[in-house]
Structure 1
Amino acid sequence: MKKWRPAIALVTCLILPVTATAQSSTEDEYTGRFGKCMDASGGVTVEILNCIADEFATQDARLNGAYSDARRDLSEERQQVLLNAQRHWITYRDANCDFYATIGGTLAQIASNDCLLRETAMRAAELENMVGW
Structure 2
Amino acid sequence: MMKTAIAAALLAGLGLAGHAAAGPSYGKPFHACMERAGGVTQAMIECIGEELDRQDARLNRVYRERLSELVPARRALLQSVQRQWLRYRDANCGFYYDPDGGSIARVLAADCRLRMTAERADELDALGQR
What is the distance in 2 between the residues matched to 1:80 and 1:126? 18
Contact kept, 8 Å, 2:55 with 2:114, in 1: the verdict is yes
Q: Distance in 2 between matches of 1:119 and 1:127?
A: 12
CA deviation after TM superposition for structure 1 residue 12, in Å: 7.5
Residue of 120, 127, 131 corresponding to 2:128: 131
Q: Helix, strand or coil for the counterpart of 1:26?
A: coil
Corresponding position of 2:73: 77
| 2:48 pairs with 1:52 | yes
Asked if the contact 1:70/1:132 (under 8 Å) is kept, the reply is no
Cα offset, 1:73, TM superposition: 1.2
Q: How does 1:1-133 map to 2 (within 5 A)?
A: 10-11=9-10, 23-24=19-20, 25-27=22-24, 29-102=25-98, 104-131=101-128
Alignment partners' CA distance in 1, 2:53 and 2:105: 20
Unaligned runs of 5+ in 2: 1-6, 13-17
**TM-score with structure 1 setting the length:** 0.81
> By how many angstroms is 1:91 displaced?
0.4
Q: 1:115 to 1:62 in 2, by over 3 A?
A: same
Q: Distance in 1 between matches of 2:8 and 2:79?
A: 34
Deviations 1:66-117 (A, max 9, x none): 1001111100100000000000000000000000001610000000000000
Q: How many residues align?
A: 118
Alpha-carbon distance in 2 for matches of 1:12, 1:92: 24
- Specify whether residues 88 and 37 from structure 1 end up closer, same or farther in structure 2 by C-alpha distance, changes over 3 A only: same
- The TM-score with structure 2 as length reference comes to 0.83
Structure 1: unaligned runs, 5 residues or longer = 1-7, 14-21
The percentage of aligned residue pairs carrying the same residue is: 39
Hey, what's the Cα distance between the residues in 2 that align with 1:62 and 1:85?
18
The structural deviation recorded for 1:42 is 1.3
